[in-house]
Amino acid sequence: MATLGIPQNTIEVLQKYRFNFQKKFGQNFLIDTHVLEKIMDAAEITKEDCVVEIGPGIGTMTQYLAERAKEVVAVEIDKNLIPILQDTLQEYDNVTIINDDILRVDINRLVQEKNNGRPVKIVANLPYYITTPIIMGLFENHVPLKSITVMVQKEVADRIRVGPGTKDYGALSLAVQYYAKPEIVANVPPNCFIPRPGVGSAVIRLTCHETCPVSVRDEKFMFSMIRAAFNQRRKTLLNGLSNAGELGLSKEKIREALDKMNLPPTIRGEELTLEQFAALADILL
């Protein structure tokens, strides 16, 4: 089978099947072999690995994964791509194609069935509009993971890895850093895709922590608190948390907790580190 990372091979497949790109699925297919190699190197795929690929498209990256991994499970939402995938991946007997929405798939069960519950690696070229729910879903559902290596919008990659006090710092940065160590592996310009997206992309690798860097009594409560702190960025942390009805916290209680931590009542959420959010959650719980 011809390598799909080469643009003319991708175009041939798309023409053969008269494939129409679906805007609602945010489809941009990678057509650059150098970038594909970089993703493989970053994900460190070996013959020991079971890989879950989200959004295989026409199977471009899936071919690379199948060559290197023990097993690949490719989850594709667009039913029009299934016959194409069956064609482009027919040479590989270690690939399972699932036609479903990744947000509806029970990945824990999948990992149990395909890898006896042992940690898997996630590799994906993610549609921009759904990056955050996918990454957060994997972490919050405690899927057994070694790493997540994903192509995302450059802006999202920047947001994931920054620290307190920067304009990009937010709930996503804190959540990802609680579960994993993020590093940007490559910046990818729009001309590496068909069709060309309007923005630059980046490959980011999230290496999952064996133990979380901070301990907190109730991580769900901490993340509800973090979300409330950033929902109204311009407000002080005191106002942001007291306005969040679902937390049920009075201004008085929050003020006391901040006081206990020697933090001023005027402080904003974006100034707190992950450790401080964890400490505050434990006091307020």
Domains defined along the chain, listed by start: 7-208 (3.40.50.150), 219-284 (1.10.8.100)
- Tokens 């450059």, located at residue: 154
Task: Output the pLDDT for position 189.
Answer: 96
Continuous H helices in the chain: 7-16, 33-43, 60-68, 82-88, 107-115, 131-140, 154-161, 171-179, 219-231, 237-243, 251-260, 274-284
Task: Output the pLDDT for position 2.
Answer: 66
CA distance 161 to 272: 15
Is residue 141 within 8 A of residue 120, CB to CB? The reply is no
Q: In 25-169, at which residue ranges do the beta strands (DSSP E only) sit? A: 29-30, 50-54, 71-76, 95-99, 120-125, 145-153
Task: For residue 151, report the phi and psi dihedrals to the nearest 5 degrees.
Answer: -90, 125
The whole-number mean pLDDT for each consecutive block of 10 residues of the chain, a chain of 285 residues, reads 81 86 80 94 96 95 96 95 95 97 94 95 88 90 94 92 90 93 95 91 95 92 93 89 92 95 95 96 95
Which is it for strands 95-99 and 180-188: parallel, antiparallel or unpaired? unpaired
CA distance 259 to 211: 29
CA distance 258 to 279: 10
Residue type present at position 185? V
Task: Output the pLDDT for position 7.
Answer: 87
pTM for this one?
0.89
* Side-chain-side CA neighbours of residue 64 (13 Å): 26
Is residue 70 within 8 A of residue 104, CB to CB? The reply is no
- Tokens 């590989």, located at residue: 92
Task: Output the pLDDT for position 1.
Answer: 56
* Secondary structure (3-state) at 123: strand
Q: What is the DSSP letter of 48?
A: T
Is residue 147 within 8 A of residue 124, CB to CB? The reply is no
Q: Work out the number of other CB atoms within 10 angstroms of the CB of residue 267.
A: 16
- Tokens 């901040």, located at residue: 258
